[in-house]
A and B are shown apart, each in its own frame.
Chain A
Amino acid sequence: MTSHQSPTTFAHMDAGTVALVLAGLVLAATGLGVLHRATQGRARTVADSRTVSIAGVALGDRATLLQFSTEVCAPCKATARVLDDVAARTPDVAHVDLDVTHRPELASRYRVLQTPTTLILDRDGVVRARIGGAVRRDVVVAELEKVLAA
């Protein structure tokens, strides 16, 4: 083992130790990926209900799917397609896709830490649910039904 390290140089590791370090790194990265995947697309019901009002954004009469995107974001496009389709199939529900690339103050105000982030708003523009990452259609539809039934 490498117990004789100085601050600037390693005591050189043997091949077996190096293989262990690399395996540990691959394992750690896999853990991160699994953890991240588990949080993606999951809806969180929002407790502190805030009303969304953004200049120039028209909300739906019964509910709004408010998506925050950036220019440099491939999953945002897939999410936009799903939300567009859900909104088109549900009367009086609007899909709004906001690009926060040029409006960072919106990302700060609505605490957007990743794109896409989707907020589901009720008829009064109150945030009811929040979905981080690429959305899954069944999750969106289920959350939207809860909001519409309320």
Chain B
Amino acid sequence: MTAPHASSTAAPALRTGIDPRGPRFTAGVTAVLFLVVIALALLGLDTAALALAIVNALVFLWAAIAGVQRHPYGVFFRRVVRPRLAPPAELEDPVPPTFAQGVGLFVTVLGIALFFVVGPIALVVAGAAAFVAAFLNAVFAYCLGCQIYLLLARAGILGKRGATAA
């Protein structure tokens, strides 16, 4: 897996606004799932922890490629939760939360890879990092992806003019 820079090539059709509560709902579900990963790893249920980490990675991968609008938890939010809520005050660009899915993928894959080197502690550490990011997103609407994107851009890794032009 490489650094998630491909998300900036989102198709124009995906640029329509989304309900900002969708990605936060998604992050909430993700945060709970990472707590379960950590719990399983600490309880010594390594195989189960690894399996759930892989499921989380696959969901991240799908959302980073297909766009956060097609995120399975996001679809659940749109079909089941959103009809019970008042309409949002404003809509949000789907590119930032899609980028964040790529960041989540990167962290999770790192944890899975290191599991085979240093053991279940890798899933605990990577799971804790992913949990904190998802929790801050869900509860405080804190945009970790923005910060990471900016730091990468400052380091000259991302955002070079024309670097991702099709």
Q: Are B96 and A73 in contact (CB under 8 A)?
A: yes
For the complex, is B29 an interface residue (Cβ under 8 Å from A)?
A: no
B-side interface size class: 35 or more
Chain B residues with Cβ under 8 A from A12's Cβ? Answer: 42-44
For the complex, is A102 an interface residue (Cβ under 8 Å from B)?
A: yes
Q: Are B160 and A10 in contact (CB under 8 A)?
A: no
B36 to chain A minimum Cβ distance, whole angstroms, is 9
Interface residue ranges of B130-165 to A (CB < 8 Å): 131-132, 135-136, 139-140, 142-143, 145-147, 149-150, 153-156, 158-161
Report the Cα distance A102→B77, complex, angstroms: 34
A interface residues, how many (CB within 8 angstroms): 38
Chain A residues with Cβ under 8 A from B44's Cβ? Answer: 10, 12-13
In addition to A9-B119, A33-B142, 14 A-B residue pairs with Cβ atoms within 8 Å of each other are A8-B119, A10-B41, A10-B120, A13-B43, A29-B131, A30-B135, A32-B132, A37-B140, A71-B149, A72-B99, A72-B146, A73-B149, A74-B143, A104-B153
Report the Cα distance A71→B96, complex, angstroms: 8
Binary interface encoding of chain A residues 5-36 relative to chain B, with 1 for a CB under 8 A from any of its CBs, else 0: 00011101101011001100110111011001
Chain A residue at minimal CB-CB distance from B161: A102
A134 to chain B minimum Cβ distance, whole angstroms, is 9
A115 to chain B minimum Cβ distance, whole angstroms, is 5
Report the Cα distance A108→B156, complex, angstroms: 11
Chain B residues with Cβ under 8 A from A9's Cβ? Answer: 119-120
Q: Are A36 and B93 in contact (CB under 8 A)?
A: no
Q: List 15 A-B contacts (CB under 8 A).
A: A10-B44, A10-B120, A18-B42, A18-B43, A33-B136, A72-B8, A72-B95, A72-B96, A73-B149, A77-B93, A101-B153, A101-B159, A104-B156, A112-B150, A114-B147
Binary interface encoding of chain B residues 16-47 relative to chain A, with 1 for a CB under 8 A from any of its CBs, else 0: 00001000000000000001001101111000
Report the Cα distance A100→B142, complex, angstroms: 20
Chain A residues with Cβ under 8 A from B149's Cβ? Answer: 70-73, 101
Chain B residue at minimal CB-CB distance from A40: B142
Contact of B143 among A8, A26, A71, A73 (CB under 8 A): A73
Chain A residues with Cβ under 8 A from B99's Cβ? Answer: 72
Q: Are A114 and B150 in contact (CB under 8 A)?
A: yes
A79 to chain B minimum Cβ distance, whole angstroms, is 12
Contact of A26 among B41, B135, B140, B146 (CB under 8 A): B135
Binary interface encoding of chain A residues 77-103 relative to chain B, with 1 for a CB under 8 A from any of its CBs, else 0: 110000000000000000000001110
Report the Cα distance A29→B138, complex, angstroms: 11
Interface residue ranges of B45-71 to A (CB < 8 Å): none
